[in-house]
């Protein structure tokens, strides 16, 4: 007997027939003799609608009320799935985040999970009851509802699996695994059988939304065995594993893209100590996440240009912060461009293999694509390009690194 956490995303619970399909899958796992906790997302489209409503009511809103609204989608699906299971003769009950509880910090809208008290749930599981748990939501130190950031049900599932010492955490979604790149971008994307935690973490943080970044970090930290698989087809998915479990190492394992970026250039920034600290310190204080940064050597020793990227949704706030610093710092202009996309190639094999960046730059040059900013880590090379070329770039790189599926794919 094993203890399993199964997580179903928005498309998998997108209507009542699909919820019945999920119930049948859950029933099969339970009837195989396992203890099962199921984590579900809201029906696909629901959370987007809820977010849109909060924005229509008030552009700058109270994040605590935002959480009350956007957490509601998952309340519907846990109830419906519990009903569907009961209809199949299975003992099941729903759990909202606060009922377990999933304790989080107080950063509404992107809260982090702290402690999960599983005492009662463990008893119920041992009695053969299936737990149907609302993903994406928790309860903050002020006893108010929190949410974990978009895609956060993956993190709910992994956190629950860690807290329950589960044998497996199966993430059921609308693709049958993790691919070499988003299968929506190229039909030549290939399913990966095993991927390391580190590579999955980089791919997720660079835009591959098949798993929320934090869920991968948490799985890595707690050694949770995660599998990504289809909720519609019965076939093996992708296992996220330790590096030692990978037999054949690729130099580049996958390619991610992130269209939600904006580029900001501060022109004529005085070249003196402390300026970068002031700029990036102020942006951080206003919760603006800065990603890539380039600063030129100043020619005259007096001033230079500073270019960096922020999340597209943070661009307005970044402008506000920088406008406020103009007097103190004395730069000459701000130029921003939301029409950019970050493309990243990821692979643990590049630690020992030179030439990965060269292939990337040459391939993009052959397609006439200009590189605006470059950044690297030990297992990743990222470039910022015009978003007009996103698909062209991903497809060309996919071919260049030998990732294309052969023949009929
Ligand atoms: P869910 O609602 O089940 O959480 P998501 O939409 O959050 O599903 O994530 C699944 C989607 O992630 C897929 O439909 C696919 O378009 C996208 N995706 C992006 N990159 C990848 C990748 N490398 N492998 C698989 N899917 C990817
Ligand atoms: N329903 C939430 C969202 O759409 C959480 C999730 O799907 O993981 O972001
Ligand atoms: Mg998701």
Measure the CA–CA gap between 372 and 384, rounded to whole angstroms.
Answer: 5
Q: What is the pLDDT of residue 409?
A: 39
Which of 8, 70, 150 for mutating ligand 2's site (highest number of atoms within 8 Å of CB)?
150
Q: Is the CB of 77 under 6 A from ligand 1?
A: no
In a domain, 191, yes or no: no
The CATH number for 158's domain is 3.40.1160.10
Q: Is the CB of 394 under 6 A from ligand 1?
A: no
Q: What is the pLDDT of residue 407?
A: 53
Which of 209, 253, 401 for mutating ligand 1's site (highest number of atoms within 8 Å of CB)?
209
Q: What is the pLDDT of residue 136?
A: 98
Helix residue spans in 223-314 (DSSP H) = 275-285
- Tens digits of pLDDT across the chain (409 residues): 899 999 999 999 999 999 999 999 999 999 999 999 999 999 999 999 999 999 899 877 789 999 999 999 999 999 999 999 999 999 999 999 999 999 999 999 999 999 899 999 999 999 999 999 999 999 999 999 999 999 999 999 999 999 999 999 999 999 999 999 999 999 999 999 999 999 999 999 999 999 999 999 999 999 999 999 999 999 999 999 998 888 777 889 999 999 989 999 999 999 989 999 999 999 999 889 899 999 888 788 889 999 999 999 889 989 999 999 999 998 999 999 999 999 999 999 898 888 999 999 999 999 999 999 999 999 999 999 999 999 999 999 999 999 998 754 3
In a domain, 102, yes or no: yes
**Cα–Cα distances in angstroms (integers) from residue 43 to residues 48, 222, 247, in the given order:** 10, 29, 38
- Pick from 261, 268, 269: which is nearest to 375 by CA? 261
- 118 CB contacts (<8 Å, ≥6 apart)? 100, 160, 163, 164
Q: Is the CB of 46 under 6 A from ligand 1?
A: no
The β-bridge relationship of strands 92-95 and 130-134 is: parallel
pTM: 0.93
Cα dihedral 272/278/284/288 (nearest 10): -80
Q: What is the pLDDT of residue 74?
A: 98
Same domain, 296 and 376: yes
Kindly state the DSSP code that residue 315 receives in the 8-state scheme: H
Q: What is the pLDDT of residue 58?
A: 84
Q: What is the pLDDT of residue 250?
A: 82
Same domain, 278 and 155: no
Which pair of structure tokens corresponds to residue 130? 């299936």
Q: Is the CB of 14 under 6 A from ligand 1?
A: no
Kindly state the DSSP code that residue 179 receives in the 8-state scheme: B
Collapsed DSSP state (helix, strand, coil) of residue 152: coil
Which pair of structure tokens corresponds to residue 24? 């049948």
Same domain, 103 and 250: no
How many domains does the chain contain in total? 2
Same domain, 361 and 255: yes
Measure the CA–CA gap between 367 and 351, rounded to whole angstroms.
Answer: 27
Which pair of structure tokens corresponds to residue 22? 């999920």
Q: What is the pLDDT of residue 408?
A: 45
Q: Quote the ligand 3 centre to 365 CA distance (angstroms).
A: 34
CB 215, CB 113: distance < 8 Å: no
Match 């790189």 to its residue by tokens. Answer: 397
Measure the CA–CA gap between 104 and 116, rounded to whole angstroms.
Answer: 9
Same domain, 256 and 379: yes
Atom of ligand 2 at shortest distance to CA of 10?
A: 7
Question: CB-based burial of residue 145 (10 Å sphere; 0-12 exposed, 13-18 middle, 19+ buried)?
Answer: buried
In a domain, 202, yes or no: no
Measure the CA–CA gap between 74 and 10, rounded to whole angstroms.
Answer: 10
- Among 114, 148, 174, the domain boundary falls at 174
Q: What is the pLDDT of residue 108?
A: 94
Question: Closest residue (by CA) to atom 8 of ligand 2?
Answer: 151
Q: What is the pLDDT of residue 245?
A: 87
Residue 289: which domain range?
245-409
């Amino acid at each position: 007997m094993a203890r399993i956490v199964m997580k179903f995303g928005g498309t998998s619970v997108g209507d009542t027939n699909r919820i019945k399909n999920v119930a049948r899958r859950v029933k099969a796992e339970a009837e195989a003799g396992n203890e099962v906790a199921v984590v579900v997302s809201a029906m696909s489209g629901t959370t987007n609608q809820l977010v849109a409503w909060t924005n229509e009511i008030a552009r700058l809103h109270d994040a605590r009320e935002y959480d009350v609204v956007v957490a509601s989608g998952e309340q519907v699906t846990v109830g419906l799935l519990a009903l569907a299971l009961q209809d199949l003769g299975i003992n099941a009950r729903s759990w909202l985040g606060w009922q377990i509880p999933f304790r989080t910090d107080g950063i509404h809208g992107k809260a982090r999970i702290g402690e999960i008290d599983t005492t009662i749930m463990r008893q119920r599981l041992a009695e053969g009851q299936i737990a149907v748990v609302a993903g994406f939501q928790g309860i903050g130190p002020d006893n108010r509802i929190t949410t974990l950031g978009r895609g956060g049900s993956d993190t709910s599932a992994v956190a629950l699996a860690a807290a329950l010492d589960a044998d497996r955490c199966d993430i059921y979604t609308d693709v049958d695994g993790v691919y070499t790149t988003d299968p929506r971008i190229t039909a030549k994307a290939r399913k990966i059988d095993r991927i390391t935690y580190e590579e999955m973490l980089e791919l997720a943080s660079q835009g591959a939304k098949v798993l929320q970044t934090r869920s991968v970090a948490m799985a890595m930290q707690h050694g949770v065995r995660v599998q990504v698989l289809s909720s519609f087809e019965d076939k093996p998915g992708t296992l996220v594993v330790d590096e030692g479990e990978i037999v054949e190492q690729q130099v580049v394992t996958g390619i991610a893209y992130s269209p939600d970026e904006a580029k900001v250039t501060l022109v004529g920034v005085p070249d003196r100590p402390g300026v970068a600290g002031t700029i990036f310190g102020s942006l951080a204080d206003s919760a603006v996440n800065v990603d890539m940064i380039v600063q030129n050597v100043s020619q005259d020793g007096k001033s230079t240009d500073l270019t960096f990227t922020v999340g597209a949704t943070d661009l307005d706030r970044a402008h506000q912060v920088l406008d406020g610093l103009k007097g103190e710092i004395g730069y000459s202009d701000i130029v921003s461009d939301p029409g950019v996309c970050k493309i990243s190639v990821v692979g643990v094999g590049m630690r020992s293999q030179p030439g990965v960046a060269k292939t990337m730059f040459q391939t993009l040059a052959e397609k006439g694509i200009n590189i605006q900013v470059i950044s690297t880590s030990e297992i990743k090379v990222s470039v910022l390009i015009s978003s007009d070329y996103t698909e062209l770039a991903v497809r060309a790189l996919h071919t260049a690194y030998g990732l294309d599926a052969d023949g009929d794919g």
